[in-house]
Amino acid sequence: MHKELGRDKKIITYCRSGHRSMAASILLCGLGFKDIYNLDGGILNWHYDLIKGIPEERPELITGKEGVGDILMLALMLEKGAFDFYSRAQEMIKDQQAVQAFQKLAGMEEKHIERLYVQYSQLLGEGTVPPLDQLKAEAGYMEGGITINEELIKIGEMEFLDDFEALEIALEKEYMSYDFHRTSSQPSTPADK
């Protein structure tokens, strides 16, 4: 379907709340489109003059010099960041179905953390890895290199958040995570440096 879009045209993505369209914007940027804009907050939040550009660049958390253990530890910390985000987001909203959706998402992230910890322990050897509770320090970033506090501010600014929108938020975050890992795993060329 993206082949039907003109690469030389300005493209504005939008959806109900802006989360699915943000994922679409990221996908289009990954496909080489340059002039992409996302309607921030979607149609629900449109004030007839607010259009936001593509997502800002994320911090360089992977430089290419890391070993497998470093990558597993980074992955564990980013999963912990996602767990923190979903745990804190559920405390900020009133809709009980949205709270339950964020609780389930936090539970899934916790299982991801535990799986990564097992892999990390197997790689380094039992007894050489600190206990999982020590590794679960407060994270500043979540999957995709997204700053947790900035995303929580966005949640706090939303007038209404239901379980459908909670899942849309999760979809956006997971797609940003996929994009982050995809681009981080690509070898850099001399032109990139």
Residues 46 and 113 both lie in one domain: no
HSE at residue 68, side-chain half, CA atoms within 13 A, is: 8
pLDDT in tens, 108-118: 999 988 888 88
pLDDT surpasses 60 at 6: yes
Residues 101 and 20 both lie in one domain: no
pLDDT in tens, 74-97: 888 888 889 999 999 999 888 899
Residues 14 and 101 both lie in one domain: no
By percentage, how much of the chain surpasses pLDDT 70? 82
Closest CA to 24 of 44, 65, 58, 54: 54
Provide mean pLDDT across the span 40-69.
68
Residues 99 and 33 both lie in one domain: no
Q: Is the Cβ–Cβ distance between 62 and 184 less than 8 Å?
A: yes
User: What are the start-end ranges of the H helices in 48-162?
Assistant: 68-90, 96-124, 132-135, 148-157
Q: Quote the pLDDT of residue 97.
A: 92
**Residue 63 within a domain:** no
**Residue 119 within a domain:** yes
Residues 91 and 148 both lie in one domain: yes
Domain that holds residue 43: 2-55
pLDDT in tens, 118-157: 888 888 877 777 888 777 676 778 877 778 888 888 888 7
- Look at the chain and report how many structural domains it folds into: 2
Residues 171 and 125 both lie in one domain: yes
**Residue 62 within a domain:** no
Residues 7 and 101 both lie in one domain: no
Residues 118 and 161 both lie in one domain: yes
**Residue 93 within a domain:** yes
Provide mean pLDDT across the span 32-56.
73
Residues 101 and 185 both lie in one domain: yes
